[in-house]
Structure 1
């Protein structure tokens, strides 16, 4: 084969690869536009993958419809009360889309705000939650440490920041976040880690920090006089607190059933520690002081 022909084939091959890469890149970025439903803003997208576009648009419009319904109901409670949403595209790159809907509540007593975040994989149309980014115990600890460090610095400079419950909010399922080029932004609503007057509190955490390797053993479990430490893990199934007969599925593969008559309402996905006292086992959940008696009913 001549050098001329060989060169021509190489050029054609490179062109085909570039074209294919361009198609993939184009298919994972979309155009966005703002629409209104009964006064509520929401984002709609357009792109080549019709199914993905349809799935995402349906979710975003349904949120606006729900807000419109809530607004009509809320207006019944007072003459000068209403909901109003403002939609904003925060990120639209690298196959990811982040939409933030800011909700304003106008009432006779003033105005409060909150935000709902919508993150999507543009290749599949799947809605992404924080658990899709923070998957391991190490990543969770890295995130908590990074966010806490940022907010402690703000607090030390005089900002009205509350640092006592940062870990609590970050261990709740589906906490608000959105993407940026190097990582994610954790968004706290007014009143969560600062007074309402402070507005939204954001903390940027890059992927390098999230994925850094941790050295040394995990933090030790607190000792309780008379009890022996057994294991430490996180509850993975839906958790609304303590109640007789509840099943607690742990990340380490163990399943425990509550056999003690203790009731406590606390919807979260907490870290838990199993203790033993005599022949009985007890579960201690984060943010709940009381232990409950459990029995092991399964292991993976």
Structure 2
């Protein structure tokens, strides 16, 4: 009986020792993987009344670079606003910033610019900044839509979405459901399952509709 109990204790001790070694091997690996994930926090700040996105955390060299880029957009907007007001005190130029995506070590920051220089309404433009938070590299549409075949697939997906919106009674131009401009200079930003193509007012809808954002899942053009 004593030998039996001793054998059980040895068996349990060996199992415990093996488990301890296994944990010691696995945990550092998981810890390194977790530590290697780059994340940033975002905050809206202002330069002379113009919005811009400020990042904190992440890789300092990359964060500093992107912060300069994002603030520069606001600096330029403030300069344009000053010039417009010299022409007419009622004229204005404003920009609004938002973070559309901040995950998987990628970030998409979008600015919406509005210029008023008289008339029934102003003019609107948009600028998207898509970056890799690990390298600081700007991500172009060509990073995702690589060739003419994929562009055709993206166009088809956009047309299907516009048609669905039109059929649902939204104010989409019927003639532009299958006729719109899409190339590697088109404005886009990321979302969790793909890309979002952004159309300016009057491109596929009236001015009152504002910017029209169409989601295109990766599954629609990567297969």
Return the TM-score normalized by structure 1.
Answer: 0.65
Aligned partner of 2:9 in structure 1 is none
Alignment partner of 2:109 out of 95, 99, 110: 99
**What's 1:4 paired with?**
16
What does residue 74 of structure 1 align with?
A: 84
Q: 1 or 2 for the larger relative contact order (CA 8 Å, sep ≥6)?
A: 2
| 2:70 matched residue in structure 1 | 60
Counterparts in 2 of 1:122-141, with a 5 A limit? 122-141=133-152
CA distance in 2, matches of 1:141, 1:191: 22
Q: Which runs of 5+ in 1 are unaligned?
A: 213-300
Distance 1:138 1:47 in 2: 39
Q: Residue 6 of structure 2 corresponds to which residue in structure 1?
A: none
Q: Displacement, 1:168?
A: 4.8
- The answer (yes or no) to whether the contact 1:142–1:210 under 8 Å persists in 2 is yes
Q: Offset at 1:166?
A: 6.1
C-alpha offsets along residues 252-290 of structure 1, whole Å, 9 cap, x if unaligned?
Answer: xxxxxxxxxxxxxxxxxxxxxxxxxxxxxxxxxxxxxxx
Matched with 2:220 is 209
Aligned residues: 209
**Corresponding residue for 1:34?**
44
| Change in 2 beyond 3 A, CA 1:165/1:77 | farther
Structure showing greater Rg: 2
Separation in structure 2 between the aligned mates of residue 133 and residue 67 of structure 1, nearest angstrom: 30
Partner in structure 1 of residue 203 of structure 2: 192
Which of 181, 195, 199 is the matching residue for 1:169? 181
Matched with 2:8 is none
Please tell me whether the aligned partners of residues 176 and 187 of structure 1 are also in contact (alpha carbons under 8 angstroms): yes
Q: Distance in 1 between matches of 2:153 and 2:23?
A: 46
Structure with the larger helix share: 2
| CA distance in structure 2 between the partners assigned to 1:49 and 1:160 by the alignment | 44
* CA distance in structure 1 between the partners assigned to 2:21 and 2:136 by the alignment: 37
Kept after mapping to 1: 8 A contact 2:124/2:200 = yes
User: Which structure 1 residue ranges, 4+ long, deviate > 6 Å from structure 2?
Assistant: none
Please state whether the residue corresponding to 1:211 is helix, strand or coil. Answer: coil
Unmatched tracts of structure 2, length 5 or more:
1-12
Deviations 1:89-131, CA, capped at 9 Å, x for gaps: 1111111101111112234323333221111111111111211
CA RMSD of aligned residues (A): 1.9
